Amino acid sequence: MKPFANEPILELRRAPVRAQLAGALEAFDAQGVIDVPVWIGEDARYGDALLSTDPGEPSRVVARAAVAGAGDVDAALALAAGSSWGRRSAEERGAVLVRAAAWLRERRLALAALEVREAAKPWREADADVCEAIDFLEYYARAAIALAEHPAGVPGTAAELLQPPGERNELRWVPRGVVAVISPWNFPIAIPLGMVGAGLATGNAVVLKPAEQAPGCALALVRALREAGVPPDALALLPGEGDVGARLVADPRVHTIAFTGSGPVGLEIVQRAAVPAPGQRHVKRVVAEMGGKNCVIVDADADLDDVVPALVKSAFNYAGQKCSAAARVLAHEAIHDALVARLAGAIEVLQVGQASDPEIDVPPVIERSAQERVARYTATAEAAGRIVARAGDVPSRGWFATPALATDLPADSPVLADEIFGPLLAVERVASVPEACDRVDASPFALTGGLFSRSPRTIEYVADRSPVGNLYVNREITGAMVGRQPFGGNRLSGTGTKAGGPGYVLQFVEPRVVTENTVRHGLVV
Amino acid sequence: MVDESALERELFEVGRQMAAALPTTRNPLKVLDDKAMDLASSDAELKAALFRFVDVVPACRNLDDLARHLTAFLEEVGEPPPSVGVAMRMGNTKAGRRALGMAAAAGVRHMAHRFIVGERPDAALGVLRDLWKDGVASTVDLLGEATVTQAEAQRYADRCADALDTIAGAAAAWPPREQLERDSAGPLARANLSVKVSALTPLLRADAPERGKRDAADRLRPLLRRAAERGAHLHIDMESMDSRDAVLELVLSLLAEDEFREAPSAGLVLQAYLRDSPATLDTILAWGAERAQPLTIRLVKGAYWDHELVQAAQHGWSAPVFERKADTDANFERLTRRLLDARPAVRVAIASHNLRSVAHAIAYNRLTGGADADLELQVLRGLGDPLQAAIAAQGLRVRTYCPVGDLVAGMAYLVRRLLENTSNESFLYEQARGVALDELLAAPR
């Protein structure tokens, strides 16, 4: 296989590339509503218990899905437990994943259009999500092959096992067993496919419970894998709501749970998974990526020409609905007022509108409850502090939330503590970078963070003190790339695993060491 | 078709005359800052440290802060030369840092003053008049922070309008300079302003250009009107590839509007480092709007080369620019010929500090029967000063690009100029190194 390289995003700055978008959306709309089955083995059962709609036009139904019941969960796990997928070689499995990547690549615009409609992802972000999905497949396929070829680390490195005379030490990695994937809607193809892909690449059968907001995207990725050659018993699709996930988590046939979503749900999964079910003979492993309350420190020597666009991007792209999005700016008092003034002006010109319109900056949020949540926190911010800027012209139909900038909040404001997951950014004044680091350190979250400084000493100081999983210096804090910024948080933001990084596949395998004595009659044979 | 060997002979002849007319005393890099630039050019780490320092100077709050930044950058230099060691030791005490900060601030100010002619247009008038008296025309560029708000866009537009008034008002009293004021197409404006579209709107998005174009048009139209009233020339600069198409489309559509048919004189920039620049020139030449005055095309190599390469590499795109400097130089010559051949539909301004590129334009123009007056040469203030003098001494029309703005606003410009001109491949660097004239004049390969 060629060395891994990121799938290039569309060069949308070129007009001929942009010109393809409208046609892709038209073609998508012409297909009509997507039917998403409960898909277990060869059996696809259709239904309409679950509807996904366009957040910008809630009367438009994008997908209708059957919902998995207790019997479906049971059937899917029974089939998965008996799958022989793990007995194929890593190369064979990797080839299947790479074929799935090619399937996605051939349908890039169609898949992006699906995300535009079902999750209100703006084109640029939708395209980036499809590219990331491709990257995950290509990356984990190679990672699993590398693990099979060099199970004890790269020869000649410290990671390799020592082999004294008369002793043969061998490390091998075997699939842990059935993986249950519970995925979110905000990266509706890449995140589920990343978790599913890592599980499959390492030889496990996988059962996917996708977000109820995006079943259409989930079907697309399951089709990609099935059509590329993943056997029916190795991958099941179980659309539904929280109860489906809860059944999977509790079932003794599940070995690994890969979850990306909210903190409360993640912690509940960790707790439930720790209790063995009757007959269970293993400890479940939970890979959880949860929330964040991400801070960006802006030091006095920062270049505000760079800071303002990067903050706007980090906080408002995809309406702030990224776990990595910026929520708090900790601005040095020397530049605080200038930064707030410029940031306010930049937020006021943000264009809020339909994700399908390439000219917009901020799309709607995912659903009514999200819209209400953002409005509630904005009201809280206004009551206890100030809203210094709002974007104008927010459409009245659809789940639109108004991008806003809050300042002068009391230190104990929930606006500064809770993950809002919407387009509300708060700026706080700090007297120094150490004070900013103290505030970051006080947070229970540690997902992403940012720093703007032109002093190498400050950069080293903040890097040393930041608990976050991903610290971005002098750039936006979103947009982690597979193989470049392995992504994942610490503290209550996650279990410390790094999606798109070199060690991620290890979460899905268990090690076995075989030591053979090769001395017979005093001779090494 | 021009006889290539005759052209090369003429080119060398022009180049030698030009070289002989260069003032012997000062190479712009030598005066830049004593040894600093020599050192910087030869040591990549030191160069990075110095540029990062220059970049942060306006954001430093006091001398102590300045010195702390300087020593922090210098700490990262692996094998520091002795002068750096001295600076580092000064950084250890408060008094030392104060002295170091003062010296460094003075150094940067000194450097900035070579490139930036004044903080405001009225403060630049003396320099502009002196240039004019010496037979050198000018175009003024207002430096500024990036535009991220509507207020900033409006402030920039207001500064541009004020600059047009100020310069046109003062230029009326300048003495006549025939070679600067007329070509075969007619009179040339004395007042000349270069503007940046990205500064006229906070809405310009690389992948969604329409809103930004509309917003910029609302500020560019009044500027075109003002330039027309004042009899000034308005030149629209090009920036990075992200805005190239938007700027081109915006300018061509505005200038085709009936209101601007008679005036003002206006211009665009063509960047020869872009692989698709020949197609851009096709677009410009096929434009066909009927205007009283031909569009002036300033041919440059392009100032965002590193940016374009980095951006393309990070996104997995093919580079929009030539990766080999010689390819850019060769393209520059091809575009020069096409532009000169396209007259009188366009006016041609060749902007380069490369003696070969300049001599090529002059020689080609002469060999194909063009008048010297129908070719303008352009240089940058601070870097092209000797070349500017040599061109003026030949009786050719030269226009100097004169940035105006304060130190804070000017720093991004300054860093870009320093970076591009201490590059080992830059013409000025080779010239400073004493590369033989025949080698400097050799065809790009």
DSSP-derived secondary structure for A379-410: HHHHHHSEEEEE-S---SSSS----EEEES--
Share of chain A above pLDDT 90, in %: 97
Q: Which range is least confidently modeled, A194-198, A363-367, B66-70?
A: B66-70
| Inter-chain residue contact B145 with A351, CB threshold 8 Å | no
Question: Is residue A442 a part of any domain in this protein?
Answer: yes
How close are the terminal C-alpha atoms of chain B, in Å? 21
pLDDT at A246: 98
Q: Would you state the structure tokens that stand for residue B235, as one six-digit string?
A: 């030149």
The yes-or-no verdict on residue A277 having pLDDT over 80 is yes
Amino acid in position B420: E
Q: Which stretches of A49-122 are DSSP H helices?
A: 70-81, 90-106, 108-119
- pLDDT tens digits along A513-523: 999 999 999 88
> What is the pLDDT averaged over residues A52-77?
98
Q: Are residues A310 and A278 in the same domain?
A: no
Picking from A454, A459, A461 by the largest number of B CB atoms within 10 A of its own CB, the best residue to mutate is A454
Residue A115 known to be catalytic: no
pLDDT at B89: 87
- Residues near A436 by Cβ (< 8 Å), separated by ≥ 6? A295, A297, A330, A332, A430
Please report, for the domain that includes residue A279, its CATH number.
3.40.605.10
The yes-or-no verdict on residue A199 having pLDDT over 80 is yes
pLDDT at B361: 98
- Nearest beta carbon to residue B207 from set A7, A13, A312: A13
**What's the mean per-residue pLDDT of chain B?**
91
* Residue of chain B whose alpha carbon sits nearest to that of A125: B207
| Inter-chain residue contact B202 with A359, CB threshold 8 Å | no
Q: Are residues A260 and A363 in the same domain?
A: no
> What is the pLDDT averaged over residues A65-86?
98
Q: Are residues A356 and A476 in the same domain?
A: yes
Range of the domain at A345: 294-481
Q: Are residues A211 and A322 in the same domain?
A: no
- The answer to whether A59 and A53 have CB atoms below 8 angstroms apart is yes
CA-angle at B389, arms to B387 and B395, nearest 5°: 110
Chain B contact present for A349, CB below 8 A: yes
- The answer to whether B298 and B269 have CB atoms below 8 angstroms apart is yes
pLDDT at B433: 75
Domain count, chain A: 2
- pLDDT tens digits along B75-108: 888 777 887 888 888 888 999 999 988 888 888 8
* Residue of chain B whose alpha carbon sits nearest to that of A11: B317
Q: Are residues A300 and A442 in the same domain?
A: yes
Please report, for the domain that includes residue A375, its CATH number.
3.40.309.10
- pLDDT tens digits along A307-350: 999 999 999 999 999 999 999 999 999 999 999 999 999 999 99
Q: Are residues A363 and A505 in the same domain?
A: no
Q: Are residues A365 and A321 in the same domain?
A: yes
- pLDDT tens digits along A410-462: 999 999 999 999 999 999 999 999 999 999 999 999 999 999 999 999 999 99
Q: Would you state the structure tokens that stand for residue A457, as one six-digit string?
A: 């000493």
Given the structure tokens 């003098």, which residue do they identify?
B389
pLDDT at A506: 97
- pLDDT tens digits along A132-154: 999 999 999 999 999 999 999 87
Question: Is residue A211 a part of any domain in this protein?
Answer: yes
User: Predicted confidence band at A97 (pLDDT cuts at 50, 70, 90)?
Assistant: very high
Question: Is residue A242 a part of any domain in this protein?
Answer: yes
**What's the mean per-residue pLDDT of chain A?**
97
Within 59-98 of A, beta carbons closer than 8 Å to B belong to: none
Sign of the CA dihedral with A339 first, then A340, A344, and A347 last: positive
Q: Are residues A120 and A215 in the same domain?
A: yes
Q: What whole-number distance in Å separates Cα of residue B120 and Cα of residue B406? A: 8
pLDDT at A131: 98
pLDDT at B167: 98
pLDDT at B345: 95
List b or e across B46-67, with b for residues whose CB sees 16 or more CB atoms inside 10 angstroms. bbebbbbbbbbbbbbeebebbb
Could you say which of A115, A138, A212, A289 is catalytic? A289
- Nearest beta carbon to residue A349 from set B61, B150, B210: B150
CA-based nearest residue to B198, from B266, B259, B133, B152: B152
Q: Are residues A267 and A362 in the same domain?
A: no
Q: Would you state the structure tokens that stand for residue B10, as one six-digit string?
A: 């003429």
Higher per-residue pLDDT: B424 or B138: B138
The Cα of B345 is separated from the nearest Cα of chain A by a number of Å equal to: 27
CA distances from B124 to A232, A386, A441 (A): 76, 43, 51
> What is the pLDDT averaged over residues B67-72?
91
Q: What whole-number distance in Å separates Cα of residue A324 and Cα of residue A266? A: 17
Question: Is residue A29 a part of any domain in this protein?
Answer: no
The yes-or-no verdict on residue B34 having pLDDT over 60 is no
* Residue of chain B whose alpha carbon sits nearest to that of A389: B149
The yes-or-no verdict on residue A243 having pLDDT over 80 is yes
Question: Is residue A205 a part of any domain in this protein?
Answer: yes
The yes-or-no verdict on residue B421 having pLDDT over 70 is no
Question: Is residue A524 a part of any domain in this protein?
Answer: no
pLDDT at B196: 97
Q: Are residues A117 and A190 in the same domain?
A: yes
Greatest distance between any 2 Cα atoms in chain B: 69
Q: Are residues A150 and A74 in the same domain?
A: yes
> What is the pLDDT averaged over residues A157-179?
94
Q: Are residues A330 and A232 in the same domain?
A: no
Provide the ipTM: 0.94
Structural domains in chain B? 9-19+117-440 (3.20.20.220), 33-112 (no CATH)
pLDDT at B412: 76
Residue A323 known to be catalytic: yes
The Cα of A11 is separated from the nearest Cα of chain B by a number of Å equal to: 7
The yes-or-no verdict on residue B432 having pLDDT over 90 is no
The yes-or-no verdict on residue A265 having pLDDT over 80 is yes
Strand partners, A517: A167
User: Predicted confidence band at B38 (pLDDT cuts at 50, 70, 90)?
Assistant: low
**pTM of this prediction?**
0.96
pLDDT at B382: 87
